[in-house]
Amino acid sequence: MTASELSGLLGIALRGDGSRVLTGAAVLDEAETGQLAFVGSAKYFASAAQSRAGCLIAPAEYAAAEGQTVLDSPQPRAHFAQALALLYPVAAVRPGIHPYAVVEAGAVVDPTAEIGPHVSIGRGARIGAGTRLENGVTVGEAAVVGEGCVLRAGVTLYARVTVGARCILHAGAVVGADGFGFEMAGGKYHKVPQVGTVVIGDDVEIGANSCIDRGTLGATVIGDGTKLDNLVHIAHNCRIGRHVVIAAQTGLAGGVSIGDYAVVGGQVGVGDKARIEARSVIGSGAGILTSKIVRAGEPVWGTPARPLRQYLAQLATLSRLAKKRGSS
């Protein structure tokens, strides 16, 4: 692909030699001729001027060094992401069912889907058009996977789970396991049957080894466009809105709700029935207490979570006290 062709596909202006051929991409300091790199902000202009990249995606105010080819972008990182998809296209789906796959009676697999080796598809399950199930995927009885999805190796969908269109589930993700429900009676714990389900919307991505538990009654819900990192745990009857981002090693207890466009950092713990409002931001390592309401606006941090300014002020106070005690 030439720089000129990429410019047209991205819909952004070109400066310099449009005939340069691009065969891949690299970070700014390591890119060579034939590779694309991006300049995120003015902070990187000096490095960009020294870059050997064949083409740069950069803000329009970047003054290109002699001989450089530049694509002007108001959002260099976003356009670079689009360019990566063009330079490294996903392998096409190869329709068909591998001879070592097991498809039980009553399951419906669209003829354009790709079913890999050692895949198991239960009775009454449905697999949509253009979906790829990689090695060792398990789809339970009456589960539904929409069109254009990719389920990586070892993904497990329990019975009656629903996955929308164009979702990506990475290796080892488990959707629909029993919620953690037990009641003490007669001196021992008794399991509460978990008879609900999980409903995942369209364009959702779920990271490797993440777990989403089914509802005790009703459904655990993941909204359209939401992205979960690796090792995220979503407990029974949580309701996560649209376009929410949750980073790695975060755990949600039962009945938590998260509004649209919220951002949750890594290693966050959220207690039972807490409510996180739309567009809230929770910093990494924060602890949200049971039934707590997190309002939109200023990011929250710390355990228990509180507004960032308050958290930083408390840290500064503790630091001053420690210094005072050390000098006494």
Helix axes 3-10, 76-87, angle to 10 degrees: 120
Number of structural domains found in the chain: 2
pTM above 0.85, yes or no: yes
Mean pLDDT of all residues in 135-152: 98
Q: Which domain holds residue 26?
A: 3-87
- CATH number, domain with residue 228: 2.160.10.10
Structural tokens at position 210:
């993440």
Residue 26 DSSP SS3: coil
Q: Is residue 319 part of a domain?
A: no
Domain co-membership, 181 together with 262: yes
Which of the residues are catalytic?
236
Domain co-membership, 183 together with 201: yes
Structural domain ending residue among the three candidates 61, 87, 113: 87
Which percentage of the chain shows pLDDT scores above 90? 91
Upstream peptide bond of 111 is cis (omega within 30 degrees of 0) = no
Q: Where are the alpha helices (DSSP H) in 105-217?
A: none
Structural domain ending residue among the three candidates 55, 87, 119: 87
Running DSSP on this structure, what letter comes out for residue 113? -
Domain co-membership, 10 together with 133: no
Residues 6+ apart with CB under 8 A from 45: 39, 62, 63
pLDDT at 309 exceeding the cut of 90: no
Domain co-membership, 65 together with 112: no
Domain co-membership, 82 together with 107: no
Domain co-membership, 195 together with 265: yes
Mean pLDDT of all residues in 68-93: 95
- pLDDT score for 245: 98
pLDDT at 328 exceeding the cut of 80: no
| 207 contacts 174 by C-beta, under 8 angstroms | no
Q: Is residue 315 part of a domain?
A: no
Domain co-membership, 157 together with 304: yes
φ/ψ region of 18 (left if φ > 0, alpha if ψ in -120 to 50, else beta) reads: alpha
Mean pLDDT of all residues in 287-309: 91
Burial state string for 287-313 with b = 16 or more CB within 10 A and e = fewer than 16: bbeeebebeeeebbbbeebeebeebee
- pLDDT score for 298: 85
Q: Is residue 15 part of a domain?
A: yes
